Amino acid sequence: MLGTDLQNYRTAPFDARFPNQNQTRNCWSNYVDFHRCQKALDAKGVDTAPCEWYRRVYKSLCPMSWVQKWDDQRDEGTFPGKI
Amino acid sequence: MAHPSQLGFQDAASPIMEELLHFHDHALMIVFLISTLVLYIIVAMVTTKLTNKFILDSQEIEIIWTLLPAIILILIALPSLRILYLMDEINDPHLTIKAMGHQWYWSYEYTDYEDLGFDSYMIPTQDLTPGQFRLLETDHRMVIPVESPIRVLVSAEDVLHSWAVPSLGVKMDAVPGRLNQTAFITSRPGVFYGQCSEICGANHSFMPIVVEAVPLEYFENWSFLMLQDA
């Protein structure tokens, strides 16, 4: 994938799926994608390094309080997304 | 920052704000020209003894005062749309900062590499040191590297707020549960002030924004020190 070089990561690049002002879904998608990726690769017993991109992007975009809330919800089993 | 009895905009500190300033000058000049013309015509009509009760129609002037306004409107619309599309360009930010509005302070999060977050409270008037600006200074400033494209994601933790810095030409509403993106580049180093721009309770007027643009090495030092303090 173009621009997915983790070594040169500066910040979340432009994502054509979310071209406009409202980036809420961008943060949400990357958070969910990271945890799905992790769960899927863990289940296969494979190294989860490919998931690192999603983690960097959601860390850049998502407010820390949102991440905290979602992490707590996942621990409780009340997270609204499908992982 | 704003000055006492200031009439115009603050000096521009970003390329977009420069464009907005020039467009405003252009549009205001047109407004002055039209207003002067209308005022002249009114004065002329009111102060003349000449009358003509038998005018029925006049093709020529009708054409002129239809075509001229249309041309003027186009002359305003074209630069305006140019700026609109300029602001809509896809940018490639070097840094993402989250500005979270609270009652009644802003908090800034720099999470591209480490988790750096801090609150930014207004300095109360009695605690100001000589030379500081009343109701504008904060204990911690949002420090950014100069001449780098910055993405700011604005949101709120309680009620509506709005993150605005006039000299950068930036204003973005802070809506709880929503992440609003804006971007800018500072053309020069400096300190740029703004104030919360959406009514948010008792201390709405007392939660200012201060952006400090510094060379990259200073920014790196600052973020290192801030991380240590956290």
Q: What percent of chain B has pLDDT over 70?
A: 100
Q: What is the ipTM of this complex?
A: 0.94
Q: For residue A1, is pLDDT > 70?
A: no
Per CB-CB distance under 8 Å, the chain B contacts of A62 are: 179
Give B145-177 pLDDT, tens digit per residue: 999 999 999 999 999 999 999 999 999 999 999
Query: What φ, ψ does residue A71 adopt, rounded to 5°?
Result: -60, -45
Fold of domain B95-229: Immunoglobulin-like (2.60.40)
Q: Which residues of B180-195 are buried (b: 16+ CB within 10 A; e: fewer)?
A: bbbbbbbbeeebbbbb
Q: What is the pLDDT of residue A4?
A: 60
Give B49-104 pLDDT, tens digit per residue: 999 989 889 999 999 999 999 999 999 999 999 999 999 999 899 999 999 999 99
Chain A residue with minimum CA distance to B100: A63
Chain A residue with minimum CA distance to B107: A63
**Cross-chain CB nearest to B178 (options A22, A60, A65):** A22
DSSP H helical ranges for chain B: 15-46, 59-87, 216-229
Per CB-CB distance under 8 Å, the chain A contacts of B175 are: none
**Which strands make up the sheet holding B190-194, listed edge to edge?**
B142-145, B209-214, B190-194
- Model confidence at B1, pLDDT cuts 50, 70, 90, reads confident
Architecture label for domain A33-77: Orthogonal Bundle (1.10)
| For testing contact with chain A, the best of B107, B108, B181, B220 (most A CBs within 10 A) | B181
CA Rg value for chain B:
24
What pTM, to 2 d.p., does this model score? Answer: 0.94
Q: Measuring CA to CA, which residue among B26, B32, B160, B29 is closest to residue B83?
A: B26
Q: For residue B215, is pLDDT > 80?
A: yes
Fold of domain B15-88: Helix Hairpins (1.10.287)
What is the C-alpha to C-alpha distance for residues B218 and A18, in angstroms, rounded to an integer? 33
Greatest Cα pair distance in chain B: 86
* Beta carbons of B116 and B61 less than 8 angstroms apart: no
Q: For residue A2, is pLDDT > 80?
A: no
Q: Is A3 on the interface with B (CB under 8 A)?
A: no
**Segments making up each domain of chain B, as ranges:** 15-88, 95-229
Between chain A and chain B, the number of residue pairs with CB atoms below 8 A apart is 59
Q: For residue B34, is pLDDT > 60?
A: yes
User: Would B15-88 and B95-229 be classified into the same CATH topology?
Assistant: no
Instruction: Please identify among residues 6-35 of chain A the ones whose CB lies closer than 8 Å to any CB of chain B.
Output: 9-14, 19, 21-24, 26-27
Strand partners, B143: B212
Q: What is the pLDDT of residue A6?
A: 81
Per CB-CB distance under 8 Å, the chain A contacts of B151 are: 11-12
